[in-house]
Amino acid sequence: MECTTLESYDENGQMKMRPKKQFDTLDGAIAVAKIENAKPHHIHKVVAYKCKTCFKYHIGRNGKEIKEKDKKKLQQMFSDKLALEKKRKENPNFKVVGYIDLSTIRY
């Protein structure tokens, strides 16, 4: 079954629907939601949820505004990943063997 969402209204006032993007896993939907939340023009937070109709995962706004610190954190995370990809392309011998979560280090 395909889930749809309202796209717009036509000149006669009829609803125009479009299919929702479906994700097989919650992790996949969360990853796309994080990318959407990092975009500078987005104001409302996008979250992943399980659909009760098709039993797949979708993303949608939850009505809350994205906090500026959360947006900056996501943007920093994606810029770090892009920098690593650039290094890999420039030097094929460059390897990432692991990541350290700096937020867990106590001073």
pLDDT digits (tens, 9 = 90+) for 32-53: 888 888 888 888 899 999 999 9
- Is the pLDDT higher at 53 or at 102? 53
Is residue 44 in a domain? yes
86 has a pLDDT exceeding 90? no
* pTM (2 d.p.): 0.65
* Mean of pLDDT values over 70-81: 81
- Is the pLDDT higher at 58 or at 93? 58
Range of the domain at 84: 22-93
Is residue 13 in a domain? no
Question: What total number of domains does the chain contain?
Answer: 1
Is residue 3 in a domain? no
27 has a pLDDT exceeding 80? yes
Is residue 80 in a domain? yes
Is residue 32 in a domain? yes
Torsions phi, psi for 96 (to 5 deg): -100, 120
Q: What is the pLDDT of residue 51?
A: 92
